[in-house]
Structure 1
Amino acid sequence: MKNNHNPKMGIHPTSSECLPARNSSMNTIYKSNRRKLLDSLATNVPLQNVFFNTSVGNGSDRVYGLAWCRVDVSPKTCGKCLNDTITTSLTRCPESKSLVTYLSLCSLGFSNDSFFGELWDSSSSSSNGGDNFDDPLVFSKGYSMMQSLIGNVSSQPLMFETGVVDAGSDGKRYGLGQCRRDISKLDCEKCLEDLLTTYHKFVLNQTWWDMRAMSCGLWYDHVRFYQDDLRENRDDSEVSNPIPSGGEKWYKGDMTLVFVAFLVLHWI
């Protein structure tokens, strides 16, 4: 797998890759099922502790899908992120039967083959604060906190965990890790550890950064971006944007942000 590290792409990169489904062509029945599935995801994810997976249809016209949001966003923000993602996906890939897309606040994927419970880690992305550098000793404390946090994410019922480290006069550093709830504990840890390994040098000494894949994500900041009880509904004004203007983005894999077919997994 090649690595495409692409700096300063802006808040919402737009390039995509849409591939046809294996041994199958798009028809009106599948397209209708896809629409029903996507509507169901956008409706149910905010109501189901920010994760939901389902399928619609039968036989070759059956479509499988799942979506999740970051745990600290409100139901309204979660639903908006998913609806915006769906609109963009169908506009750019109107004939696609399988794709994945992930933003900082939500992730979504669908396919004509079941992928539930599978770790999808062929690509990922990272953002950081650009010129906003931290003291190396403070960063080291924060990064160690994130490493420790990884081991706790998979043991939580909702597959997320938060962490904080006191840096004295430099304040505190906050972290959050999250995985899709349909993958195993081992796959969750692998996904998060792969993100840290892949992007360590690109977030070095940054005051804020995030790392994301379809199956997991890590978020880190010098300002607190979550509440103590992340299961409580939040006011939308409290939702932080982890990719402010002036930051940088880095990418792994053959896509940008990502619209990518799952079919490679099934062709092998």
Structure 2
Amino acid sequence: MDSLSSNVVDHHGFYQTIVGTKSNRVYGTILCRGDISAKNCSLCALNSTRVASNDCPKSRDVIIWFRWCFLRYSNDSFFGEMQETTVATANYTDIEDDPSLVLQGIPFMSGVASAASVNSFMFHTEVLNINQSEKRYGMAQCTRDISRKDCIRCLDGQLDLSRNVNENKKRWETYGYNCFMWYNDYQFYFHNGSTLLLSGEFFEFWLFINYNCLSYQFEIH
């Protein structure tokens, strides 16, 4: 899986590859968050492959979520197939005090999702201006092997989950196999564009979110 981390920057933050033959064939994908620098993308990708090698050395289906990148590999082909698995994170003590803000959050993120699905890199950031002193920030992204229709379907599924468990939160994030959403009361992303930054500041920070190691079968090199 070394080729994932070594090629992801040259492919604008998203890369897929197939290695091996027959029963030992492995399908791999890596996605970097669209707002980070190329340096941070490369290092996050490298770190995720190290976690996979160290913690899941013989697993045949591995999913690694970092805040800045996402790694998956499997001996079953999953390219182009949208899957609705989602991990939701939030600070459950960080509640919106104003009910009117609760009513604005999910519709705002629905617009962010719609914009991400039609952008060429399937990535979008946006600001909700509530008043002169208060804002909310949203970001959404899909893996670029799925269709635009599946991208919005994936993000809508995450919105449904957030509507049930995160609607009254100031800050929440959702991580899936094919799509991701972030909502916050401060600007957590690095720029307002829609492509991977090829330059920019280097931050030695890639918060680990979660991982799955499934069905032990082969060893990754």
- Higher alpha-carbon Rg: 1
1:161 maps to which of 103, 124, 129: 124
1:69 and 2:70 matched = no
Offset of 1:92 from its aligned partner? 2.0
Question: Using a 3 Å threshold, how does the CA distance of structure 1 residues 57 and 241 change in structure 2: closer, same or farther?
Answer: closer
Q: Is the 8 A contact 2:90 2:173 kept in 1?
A: yes
1:40 and 2:3 matched = yes
Q: For residue 202 of structure 2, what is the aligned residue in structure 1? A: 236
Alpha-carbon distance between aligned partners in 1 of 2:11 and 2:102, rounded to the nearest angstrom: 35
Per-residue CA deviations over 1:214-248 (Å, capped at 9, x if unaligned) read 110001111122312353333134x98789xxxxx
Q: Which amino acid aligns with 2:114?
A: G
Q: Is the 8 A contact 1:225 1:240 kept in 2?
A: no
2:92 maps to which of 122, 130, 135: 130
Per-residue CA deviations over 1:125-159 (Å, capped at 9, x if unaligned) read 11223322222212322321101222222211101
Query: Any residues of structure 2 matched to 1:141-156 within 5 Å, and which?
Result: 141-156=104-119
Query: Any residues of structure 2 matched to 1:91-130 within 5 Å, and which?
Result: 91-121=54-84, 123-130=85-92
Alpha-carbon distance between aligned partners in 2 of 1:241 and 1:141, rounded to the nearest angstrom: 29
Q: Which amino acid aligns with 2:152?
A: E
Q: Is the 8 A contact 1:154 1:179 kept in 2?
A: yes
Q: For residue 154 of structure 2, what is the aligned residue in structure 1? A: 191
Q: What secondary structure does 1:146 align onto?
A: helix
Question: Using a 3 Å threshold, how does the CA distance of structure 1 residues 143 and 242 change in structure 2: closer, same or farther?
Answer: farther
Alpha-carbon distance between aligned partners in 2 of 1:139 and 1:240, rounded to the nearest angstrom: 30
Offset of 1:259 from its aligned partner? 1.1
Q: Which amino acid aligns with 2:88?
A: S
TM-score by length of 1: 0.71
Aligned residues between the structures: 212
TM-score by length of 2: 0.85
Gaps of 5+ in 1: 1-37, 244-255, 264-268
Q: For residue 219 of structure 2, what is the aligned residue in structure 1? A: none
Offset of 1:45 from its aligned partner? 1.3
Higher strand share: 2
Q: Which amino acid aligns with 1:228?
A: N
The share of aligned pairs that are identical, in percent, is: 31
Alpha-carbon distance between aligned partners in 2 of 1:150 and 1:88, rounded to the nearest angstrom: 30
Gaps of 5+ in 2: 217-221
